[in-house]
């Protein structure tokens, strides 16, 4: 039973600074977040521009349930930072981050009970050459039912076509109308094969029919991991990773 809470972020990158932001969010923020807030990196990815907005990064963070989220918010919005609404100890980090990104959109996610935590995923050796980020739009109140059906049937259907389910999540702040499903693919060929074959596959056709009363629409975006994303590393990023690879000239 996964009782964590997740923060999902779309981050818009300025110019050619995506590699700098990826390093800044993993090597610089990741260790601080883990130490001060028990806030773990679940995944950090670049979107593949031919499938979505670019240049863009998607972050997913794991918090220690609703109580852990409250404590994290208390640190961020405490009276000592009332004039800025930022943790004053992170002023330098925020200033540097602002030079890499122009803004973004966040959401709070509640995991399906069967979704592994990041520690469980690392322990089981989950890896992919690429990942698929699928946002599913649903009729009101249908998110939990969809995620349960995904576990019972949909995951196996997708696996037969080359995608392995990593986790399923419900947007906690809407009326059961939005889910995120994260998939891994061993190779880019597995993703392209899935997209080529899924429309004519009998198993997928049966899955779409089974969920047709629940699903309004869906959108898949292809992702590649940051060099210091935890599933690629097999652990959480640490301060020792700050000098672990060379960055290009900053623009």
Q: Is the pTM of this model over 0.85?
A: yes
Say if residue 217 is exposed, middle or buried (CB neighbours under 10 Å; 0-12, 13-18, 19+).
Answer: exposed
Given a contact cutoff of 8 angstroms between Cβ atoms, the answer to whether 223 and 131 are in contact is yes
Domains in the chain, ordered, with CATH? 5-108 (3.30.70.100), 118-224 (3.30.70.100)
Q: How confident is the model at residue 79, as a pLDDT?
A: 56
Cα 138 to Cα 146: distance, rounded to the nearest angstrom: 8
Q: Which band of pLDDT confidence, cut at 50, 70 and 90, is reported for residue 247?
A: low
Interval 130-154 mean pLDDT:
98
Chain segment 44-84, per-residue pLDDT in tens: 999 999 999 999 999 999 999 999 999 888 888 875 655 66
Query: What does pLDDT average to over the chain?
Result: 93
Q: How confident is the model at residue 208, as a pLDDT?
A: 98
Cα 169 to Cα 167: distance, rounded to the nearest angstrom: 7
Q: What percent of the chain has pLDDT over 70?
A: 94
List own/partner pairs for 63-66 with CB under 8 A and 24 or more apart.
63/4, 63/5, 63/6, 63/7, 63/37, 63/38, 63/39, 64/4, 64/5, 64/38, 65/3, 65/4, 65/5, 66/5
Q: How confident is the model at residue 248, as a pLDDT?
A: 63
> Above 70 in pLDDT, residue 250?
no
Q: How confident is the model at residue 36, as a pLDDT?
A: 87
Q: How confident is the model at residue 72, as a pLDDT?
A: 86
Chain segment 96-134, per-residue pLDDT in tens: 999 999 999 999 999 999 999 999 999 999 999 999 999
């Amino acid at each position: 039973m996964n009782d964590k809470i997740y923060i999902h972020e779309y981050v818009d990158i300025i110019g050619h600074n995506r590699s700098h932001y990826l390093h800044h969010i993993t090597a610089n923020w990741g260790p601080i977040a883990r130490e001060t807030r028990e806030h773990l990196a679940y995944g950090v990815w670049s979107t593949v521009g031919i499938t979505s907005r670019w240049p863009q990064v998607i972050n997913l963070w794991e918090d220690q349930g609703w109580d852990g989220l409250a404590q994290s918010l208390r640190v961020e919005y405490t009276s000592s930072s009332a004039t800025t609404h930022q943790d004053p100890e992170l002023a330098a980090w925020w200033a540097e981050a602002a030079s890499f990104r122009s803004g973004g959109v966040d959401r709070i996610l509640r995991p399906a009970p069967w979704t592994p935590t990041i520690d469980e995923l690392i322990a089981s050796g989950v890896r992919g050459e690429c990942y698929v980020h699928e946002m599913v739009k649903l009729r009101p109140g249908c998110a939990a039912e969809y995620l349960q059906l995904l576990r019972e049937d949909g995951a196996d259907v997708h696996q037969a076509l080359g995608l392995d389910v990593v986790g399923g999540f419900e947007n906690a702040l809407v009326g059961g109308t939005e889910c995120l499903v994260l998939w891994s693919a061993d190779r880019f060929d597995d993703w392209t094969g899935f997209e080529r074959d899924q429309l004519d596959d009998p198993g997928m056709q049966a899955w779409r029919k089974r969920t047709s009363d629940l699903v309004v629409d869906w959108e898949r975006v292809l992702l590649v991991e940051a060099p210091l994303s935890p599933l690629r590393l097999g652990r959480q990023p640490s301060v020792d990773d700050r000098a672990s690879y060379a960055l290009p000239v900053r623009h």
